[in-house]
Structure 1
Amino acid sequence: MRVLIIGANGQVARHTISKLTEAGHTTVAMIRDPKKADELKALGAQEVVVADLEGDFEYAYHGVEAVIFAAGSGGHTGADKTILIDLWGAMKAIDTAERLGVKRFVMLSSMGTVDPDKSDRIRHYLVAKKLADDHLKRSSLTYTIVRPGSLTNESAKQLLKLESEIQVRDNTITREDVATVLAKVVDRENMYGKTFEILNGNVQMEQALDIF
């Protein structure tokens, strides 16, 4: 499958490029800074497209069969940049996929998006993520929405807690494990139309993905 990764220079996205390549997919990395192209190709990206979510990026979809949206302003940026990237950029990416007939769309979202009012510190970020997720759900696309908790740079554990909404948030999750989940669900039919939260837990990843 030819997969476009939007926000390909992010830490999770970089792992995702490697995981997709290992699984035999063709990866197209969309980035703003052309200076990062060689680094992403070294990770396995077969093609790098320079485009900006705040501008026109329709040409990045050429020949694409699936999209993974992994762009994000982060929870510590101002509300203006969050609106432009996490909300408006995501909505444009969804609308572009729909318009061009790219049916498969995987959204990297965030835990806590179910009820942003529970977080004063990053409420604006979670609101943007929720609105983008809701826009995707209303679209005609075959979607999966992945909502990880707090991210770490530890080595992958391959063990998950995976639920629609995790009530006891007693753990974190590695960026590499999130990337593996993104790469695995892109062509996994039992994950079509699903939204879930993930942390590192005690269930083998394959089993967790199978039984959800």
Structure 2
Amino acid sequence: MKVLVVGANGTTGKQVVEKVANSKQHEAYAMIRDEKQAGALKKLGANVVLGDLEQDVSDALRGMDAVIFAAGSGGHTGDEKTIAVDQNGAKNIIDEAKNQGVKRFVMLSSMGTDAPEQGPEGLQLYLRAKAIADEYLKQSNLQYTIVRPGTLSNDQATGKIDINNDIEDKSQTIPRADVAAVLVECLNEEATIGKTFEMLAGETEIEQAIKFTH
């Protein structure tokens, strides 16, 4: 599949790009706003397309089979930017994916979006924006998967996660590399279509965990 990675220049996004590019099933397309970002992403094995979340993204999505949305303000860029990226930017990509006939959409969301008002005060708007985008995706008729990791770390990948009811301690973290691996693996696992799940570092191999067999 031709896979467009949105948020490709971010810390997690770059790892997603690299994993898509290294997979045998997929071809990586990195969406960037600035051509100066192209060199590093091409070195990871990606094709590069120009597009701005807050503008017309029709050219970026043309010919794509799938989208991995890994963009995010992280809740630390101010309220206006959070809504522009995490809420309206996501909606913009979802709408254009529908217009272009893209079938598959994997969304990087966040643990806590099911109850934003219970989140840390500084992150409540971010979680609310993510929640609105997630719900918009669910209503889109796209073949979606919504992945909600806990706090991201820069630790080395373990290849093992816990999801949903297997999570006992939500204060745990998860390496970005494992999150990236899950996002890409969701493209290969039909059992994830129509699913929304939380995840943290854990004890189950990624491929097995996302089969939802237990």
TM-score normalised by structure 2 residue count: 0.95
Distance between the aligned counterparts of 2:204 and 2:165, measured in 1?
A: 15
| Correspondence 1:199 to 2:211 | no
Partner secondary structure for residue 148 of structure 2: strand
TM-score normalised by structure 1 residue count: 0.95
Number of corresponding residues: 211
1:89 partner amino acid: G
- 1:68 maps to which residue? 68
2:56 partner amino acid: D
The one-character-per-residue Cα deviations of 1:67-124 (angstroms, maximum 9, x if unpaired) are 1111111121211001111000000110111111111101010111010010222000
| Correspondence 1:117 to 2:104 | no
Work out whether residues 143 and 194 of structure 1, in 8 Å CA contact, stay in contact via their aligned partners in 2. Answer: yes
Unpaired segments ≥5 residues, structure 2 = none
Partner secondary structure for residue 135 of structure 1: helix
- Matches of residues 1-212 of structure 1 in structure 2 within 5 Å? 1-24=1-24, 25-45=26-46, 47-119=47-119, 120-163=121-164, 166=167, 168-212=169-213
Unpaired segments ≥5 residues, structure 1 = none
Partner secondary structure for residue 211 of structure 2: helix
Work out whether residues 4 and 67 of structure 2, in 8 Å CA contact, stay in contact via their aligned partners in 1. Answer: yes
Work out whether residues 67 and 105 of structure 1, in 8 Å CA contact, stay in contact via their aligned partners in 2. Answer: yes
Partner secondary structure for residue 151 of structure 1: strand
The CA deviation at 1:170 is: 3.5
Identity %: 50
The CA deviation at 1:165 is: 8.9
Work out whether residues 32 and 48 of structure 2, in 8 Å CA contact, stay in contact via their aligned partners in 1. Answer: yes
Work out whether residues 160 and 201 of structure 1, in 8 Å CA contact, stay in contact via their aligned partners in 2. Answer: yes
Partner secondary structure for residue 73 of structure 1: coil
The CA deviation at 1:209 is: 1.5
